[in-house]
Amino acid sequence: MSAPQVGVLALQGDTREHLAALEEAGAQARTVRRRAELDAVDALVIPGGESTAMSHLLREFELLEPLRARLADGMPAYGSCAGMILLASDIADAGVPGRQALPLGAIDMTVRRNAFGRQVDSFEEDVDFDGLDGTVHAVFIRAPWVERVGAGVEVLATAGGHPVAVRQGKMLATAFHPEVTGDRRVHKLFVDSL
């Protein structure tokens, strides 16, 4: 069986780090910036960054509706930080009209942007993560949290009493950045589900 082709949305964020993590987790990883590149992958990682800027770039690169369609058709996806925000069905504080984060509707959840605070409030914490042995060292940078999950959403980890890692079917999302720690278990969990 050949390795799954996993794209990393390369409009903003930790693209290089996710590519390396996916390769180490057993995937064939490539960048996605165009429709043809999106069409050529089996799954997609949406990295951290700034969710309103990423939404704007998805529109500018004419990827917003094709990405929504692929997700609706069942393409697996993993989103970290801003990627978690975009994968949500609802965003509690999407931003000002005309400059707001646009939910892709892939996971039945409501996410609050910058829920843990501003950049100066960024922190690291070890979290218990269901399905993985031991704790995961989680790096939270202007991180969101999940305020509501639908009936089909499994909470995998919490921090500060709020869900920070969730899974719904083949969709996975974390409020933190595992790609920057060298721990490949979250990426391996995603790749192994493909």
User: Containing H/E element for 89?
Assistant: strand 88-91
Tokens matching residue 42:
């089996």
Answer yes or no: is 113 a known binding residue.
yes
Answer yes or no: is 118 a known binding residue.
no
The beta-carbon contacts of 18-23 under 8 Å, at least 24 apart in sequence, are: 18/45, 18/47, 18/80, 18/179, 18/187, 20/179, 21/178, 21/179, 21/184, 21/187, 22/187, 22/191
The question of whether 162 is a catalytic residue gets the answer no
17, 18, 56, 177: which one is catalytic?
177
The question of whether 137 is a catalytic residue gets the answer no
The question of whether 81 is a catalytic residue gets the answer yes
Length reported for the chain: 194
Answer yes or no: is 50 a known binding residue.
yes
Answer yes or no: is 142 a known binding residue.
yes
17, 56, 81, 187: which one is catalytic?
81
Detail the residues annotated as belonging to a binding site for L-glutamine.
49-51, 113, 141-142
Residues involved in catalysis: 81, 177, 179
